[in-house]
Amino acid sequence: MGNPQTIWYNKEKNIVETIDQRYLPFQNNVIEIQTLEEARFAITEMIVRGAPLIGVTAAYGMYLAARNASEGDFHTEMKHAASWLKSSRPTAVNLAFAVDEAMAVISVDLSISENIQLLLEYAESLKQREIDFSKKIGFFGLELIQSISENKNGEPVHILTHCNAGRLACVELGTATAPIYLAHEAGIPVHVWVDETRPRNQGARLTAWELGEAGIPHTIIPDNTGGHLMQHHMVDMVIVGSDRTTLNGDVANKIGTYLKALAAADNAIPFYIALPSTTIDWTLNDGISEIPIEQRDGREVSMMEGMLNGEIHEFRVHPEKSPVVNYGFDVTPARLVTGLITERGVCKATREGILNLFPEKMNKIVEGYVKFNCDWQHKKILIQDELFQALKMERSQLCILGLIGAYPDGIGFGNISVKPEQGSAFIITGSSTGQFAQLNGSHYALVTEYNFAKNSISCTGQTKASAESLTHAAVYEALPEVGAVIHVHCLWLWEKLLNNYSTTSSEIEYGTPEMAYAVQSLASQMNTNDENIIVMGGHREGILAFGRNLKEATLLILNIYNRYKHD
């Protein structure tokens, strides 16, 4: 259908260009992106938006970071760039996915110029991948629209969508809109109800603009109108996009999606999520507790933009002194989702349904999952500011070196814990938080009880405790004077330390009671004056370091890292 792309590499100018979505539909501006800083600004300020497009922009950002990097320590600079870029927006999984894939492309065995070229090729290939995925999503979604149309006797299929999951969000065609475009091209009569999508009005401003450009019949509605339309049989199906979907089928999308799903369920209207597999977070099981929800500037709610006398103006819409909360996303539970439309077909929003379409992920999703029996109280925990800042600082050093992070497939690794007081309770990073460059209080859990024999823990927090909680508990049990435990991943260091430091049996798997007992046994033979390192023989890459406090434990692993770095 010849849709222009939303982002592209201009070979003549040797720069990246993109549509500035902040000014649509009033002005169709193209801006240049020449540096990592400009790429990050484009993401944070929503010059680009939508999970797939954010991922592609991040990939180009990594290329630009490499192109502008100094020749001194290229790889350290790239690690800094990756960490900084991933911190720009927390909810869309494509961001971290693209950055980690980009980091996996570069190699210390290649020249800087060769790495730069590889990063450009990766960004271009990721863009093409998203375009191909959108086309396939459109094909499978078209079949759903066709089946409804067959019973409409020539009347339009009325489709409700929320926010913008069109080509502006996905480079070309889109996700939720792809089936609509293809249905329109096939001559199937369709009509789209376009939620305005407050507070930024992406539906009214972006989706409506796209559909209008394509000549597709549509009507803009206030966000709260959808339920009324459904009650009066004016909606045949709902199709929305996704910023992150968990393995069990929970979906994070623009705030307000959950309410549409509730209304659709109450009126027996099919509710579909259109998404590429790059938006599936294979490390998460519980969307409500585990997906970080971005809180944006309250000005997006209190101020609105509009066109007046040919000029764009900003207007205040509520009392200046009234406080504002601006959550960018909400999570729709899998039970409310009729099906997921992916590039491989339509499936149920269940672990089984997703893995039937993506069986190759079966052997990759064990890492990052809580293996113990967990008695979890979902409520906020308080961490003293001094301790929180210390956790933030020490963890950032480990992230920069890649000792805590995420693999190219999005699976996070590494965790850190502290025992602030005497007793058995300790604070630990939550399950699969390695993928986040910066953590907030919702990413930590307080482990209050544990039982090795029963393979169980009790914890409190806004996320479940790390899968390595029993291993950390084993160290604290063996050495009561220990105040911090760090678990990192580093293959080359693991290979150098294996059997040269205290090492657990290669037959013992991580996250099991057997590993906890083995670690407890080795730790009990040490004291806090030793180099307290334990190599996890049955957990490839896994290394434990611990000390009387967080700084001591961090310095230990950093010293070991630097000692063996040039061997």
Q: 196: closest CA among 146, 161, 236? A: 161
In DSSP notation, 302-331 reads HEEEEEETTEEEEEE-S-TTS----B-EEE
- The single residue listed with the structure tokens 């609509």 is 180
For the chain, what is the largest distance between any 2 Cα atoms, rounded to a whole number of angstroms? 81
Angle between helices 93-105 and 74-86 (to 10 degrees): 170
**Alpha carbon 508 to chain centroid distance?**
31
Q: Name the phi and psi angles at 187, rounded to 5.
A: 85, 10
Q: Where are the alpha helices (DSSP H) in 150-203?
A: 167-170, 178-185, 202
Amino acid (one-letter) located at 283: T
Query: Pairing relation of β-strands 271-274 and 339-342?
Result: parallel
Angle between helices 93-105 and 51-67 (to 10 degrees): 30
- The single residue listed with the structure tokens 């929800």 is 293
Residue in 100, 223, 236, 243 annotated catalytic: 243
The answer to whether 86 and 55 have CB atoms below 8 angstroms apart is no
Q: Name the phi and psi angles at 548, rounded to 5.
A: -70, -25
The answer to whether 523 and 475 have CB atoms below 8 angstroms apart is yes
CB atoms within 10 A of CB 475: 27
The answer to whether 288 and 196 have CB atoms below 8 angstroms apart is no
Residue 81's SS3 state is helix
Angle between helices 178-185 and 112-149 (to 10 degrees): 60
Q: Name the phi and psi angles at 200, rounded to 5.
A: -95, -5
Cα dihedral 347, 351, 356, 358 in deg (nearest 10) = 100
- The single residue listed with the structure tokens 């205040």 is 316
Show the CA angle centred on residue 463, arms to residues 82 and 483, nearest 5°.
80
Active site residue 243: yes
- In angstroms, the CA 487 to CA 71 distance is 32
The answer to whether 239 and 161 have CB atoms below 8 angstroms apart is yes
Any idea which residues carry the catalytic annotation?
A: 243
